[in-house]
Structure 1
């Protein structure tokens, strides 16, 4: 093939090199496994540049999803809870996943239901959001993972009543 993508036909390699040199371009083997092998006369440097630009554009369009972690305690106060909830919503709106972890200390392990209630409260306050991982106890830590779905405006405790 020549630089205008027109087929020249079956040509000896030395003659193809002469044609490429006369045009001031490169002879590039496009399909080596074909019988006979297919070569093309083109500006190889320009071709590589376009390929790198195409890859860069695709990479730019990609969005990496990060896993953010917010830590709670069973005795987290209302003010701290609201701040952490706003942070969770901000992370979800940015498109990140959020891992909510609840750490138990000492005798708090005997009252795991308080931790489960707190995680369920977070789930209710977030509204209709995708739960990737239900509450799971791992040692002294209970975790739950949320993904962005549909974040409704959260309501404080006083607004719910």
Structure 2
């Protein structure tokens, strides 16, 4: 990364290391990759982990609501759910009120996997050599960035 040129020097805003999109892309790939070894014992990928986190919070859920919660397109979520079903963590059933609506629930094995997953956040904190307050502050800043970016996107639409 380049050093800050200070208030009197002109910044080249087209430098790669000046781009927030570049920093976010590299940070995202790097941090998500750190989860791999911790998720391997569960037999799931990071996107599947996000789905499981949502289901551990509340299950069963409508498949469409689950897609919105984890911010995935339904066409992207469906194959993830198929793989989670094959390993025995979830089951999908038609809603009793509307057969077109699919409910996603946890199996006993899926609920039990939560116990194993409880060690993951602490392991990631240790891997990053950060404390919970630092990580929470970063998460909050990123959440605010997401809100601002979505608002800007809505205004352009």
Is TM (by shorter chain) over 0.5? Answer: no
TM-score (norm 2): 0.24
Query: Computing the radius of gyration over CA atoms, which structure comes out larger, 1 or 2?
Result: 1
